[in-house]
Amino acid sequence: MFVQVNGERREVPDGATVLELLRTLGVRGRVAVERNGVVLRQAEHADVRIGEGDVLEVVTFVGGGA
């Protein structure tokens, strides 16, 4: 199935969890994930299953002041 991750179309296995998606993407370190406009708790990453057409945002901290 296809989903959108950080604005890009990506193919993921049917029934994949958010955590599995992050592993597939090679994400290391701590990230926060928003799924269809709802911010997920860290603990939910392993349980929440991604659905066809989901829009996911994966964010992290970067340098910034104001």
Partner 1 sequence: MDDALVIGGRRFRSRLILGSGKYPDLETMKRCHEASGTEMVTVAVRRLDLKATGEASLLHWIDRERVTLLPNTALCYTADDAVRTCRLARELGMSNWVKLDVRGDQRTLFPDVEQTVAAARTLVKEGFVVLPYTSDDLIVARKLADAGCAAVMPLAAPIGSGLGIRNPHALQLLREAVRIPVIVDAGVGTASDVSIAFELGCDGVLLNTAVAGAREPVRMARAMKLAAEAGREAFLAGRIPRRAYGSASSPPEGLLP
Residues that bind partner 1 (CB under 8 A): 5-8, 25-34, 37, 39-42, 57-66
In whole angstroms, how close is the CB of 55 to partner 1 at the nearest point? 12
- Are 38 and 30 in contact by the 8 Å Cβ rule? The answer is no
- Are 57 and 6 in contact by the 8 Å Cβ rule? The answer is yes
In whole angstroms, how close is the CB of 49 to partner 1 at the nearest point? 18
Q: Alpha-carbon distance 13 to 40, whole Å?
A: 20
Of 1 and 44, the one with the shorter C-beta distance to partner 1 is: 44
In whole angstroms, how close is the CB of 30 to partner 1 at the nearest point? 6
Q: Alpha-carbon distance 61 to 18, whole Å?
A: 19
